[in-house]
Structure 1
């Protein structure tokens, strides 16, 4: 029996997936379709999945693309295959099952269900919420400032982290800002959050007219928020290589410090899925040092 229009059955890593609505335009500004998004995830999976594996995922779901409704989902989407791993996670309201993306097949299965944007915490389900293995700082520009300013602040934060024995890696968020990560020896969420908050406070002390650590909108005008709170065990951050559900189909992409230093316009570090695939082909996974135990350092 022939497949319905916009539908195709494929086999991914031995799993049969029925892909639907392939012709649906998810990003009207550029015409990117669901088929193109699924193709991106299939091709980026070898470098993306290792950064997702073991971490309970949350999703921004928008089955109809930017023209339809979108919402944050922590629990498995309806229709998620039984073979996609789950983890039981404790939340303030009790426990809940969450998806763990450990394979290309699982990544495609979730994207096929409209879970196009993926967020993960800085800890793994197996080791638990109080064994964080990454520090993250989210540099978010307020009104009147932009990614270029985030890059300058990011360079200074890199120096401060290095002074404390930590190595920093940069990821453009795919939205407006910049994420900085450091691989760390396991520590509690409270410990990591405390260090990150103190570091953000040091930056605000150095540059009180440029940096804030409060999310109050009035305080953020013409300043960059250093969001240290994403180190809390209950928080998540947009995963490296995830597509973002914004007007343009941009990706949370790892970048070099040379690129950060050279940024003079936000468009300098805005990458489409096609560009990210090309970057990986030429440069490999710039985020690979975050994997494994090598290079991890204890928080001071």
Structure 2
């Protein structure tokens, strides 16, 4: 698919689906003049690895209807006008209702999330100026043939994430140096962490886990790791979000493993001043002058090296519970 930038409305066929694309000439990144057409081109060309990360995960979208220089909003529910071929999942709002039952017999509150299964779904979302795609560390379970229309059951997390977020006075270089230290702790427990620069300020480490343990177990494991490093390296690391403590330190954010939390999906664009991507990196790169990557750089790397995260969702090891 290669829509013409000058077309205001264009009907195209993407993956066997007919889509009506609008305002293709709209500039979504004013600093670089990057248009919606160029955003659509990126998501279509990066679809294979992006869809691998999105598969069966409910997608929270961050939309910038008038470009990243204007207001944005988070969107969880599938919006009005969602095509019938976009699969959705009714996900309970509270972790206590994950099995589809609410306390006291009351019906659970649910959010109807879209599930982006194919390149047509990606292009549909991007056409709505959904620049950022955020997902949890767990997936929804495929419905049974005789299943009802109630909330979906959610699988245990198949990956964990450690988010390294630089505080004032620190940056990507400090995150990269600390990532090696975090990785050593993860590797000692049998995990195989992979770095992903966030496309914003810091980076994340992802690692496959067994998919046999509850999200609370995964969250508590990462929390213990973060708190241990904060005790061992108090001048460099903080494990709480208290702003007063973050100056000159990197926050190890464990909370994104909580059942209700999401993280920007690897290969998603970011809604920052410059068009940048949450991009998988090699460990050797973390020892170099590290910068966030553009969409063009990510596509070049995919063509040369393939998907560095193709096996990051496991199965991986069970986490120690202590």
Match of 2:309 in 1: 287
Q: Say what the alpha-carbon RMSD is for the aligned residues.
A: 1.4
Q: TM-score, normalised by structure 2?
A: 0.88
Match of 1:153 in 2: 178
Task: Check the 8 A contact 1:129/1:188 in 2, yes or no.
Answer: no
**What is the DSSP-based 3-state SS (H/G/I as helix, E as strand, rest coil) of the residue aligned with 1:190?**
helix
Aligned ranges 1:1-300 → 2 under 5 Å:
5-92=7-94, 94-126=109-141, 128-129=153-154, 131-186=156-211, 187-262=213-288, 264=289, 268-291=290-313, 293=315, 296-300=316-320
Task: Check the 8 A contact 1:137/1:179 in 2, yes or no.
Answer: yes
Task: Check the 8 A contact 1:155/1:261 in 2, yes or no.
Answer: no
Cα shift at 1:44: 0.3
Query: In structure 2, what is the Cα distance between the partners aligned to 1:5 and 1:163?
Result: 54
Task: Check the 8 A contact 2:133/2:265 in 1, yes or no.
Answer: yes
Query: In structure 1, what is the Cα distance between the partners aligned to 2:74 and 2:64?
Result: 9
Query: In structure 2, what is the Cα distance between the partners aligned to 1:176 and 1:78?
Result: 34
Task: Check the 8 A contact 1:52/1:102 in 2, yes or no.
Answer: yes
Task: Check the 8 A contact 2:139/2:155 in 1, yes or no.
Answer: no
Query: In structure 2, what is the Cα distance between the partners aligned to 1:244 and 1:31?
Result: 15
Q: TM-score, normalised by structure 1?
A: 0.94
Query: In structure 2, what is the Cα distance between the partners aligned to 1:130 and 1:54?
Result: 10
Q: Deviations over 1:35-77 (max 9, x none)?
A: 0000000000011101101000001011211133201111113
Moved more, 32-41 or 284-293: 284-293
Query: In structure 2, what is the Cα distance between the partners aligned to 1:222 and 1:299?
Result: 31
Cα shift at 1:130: 5.5
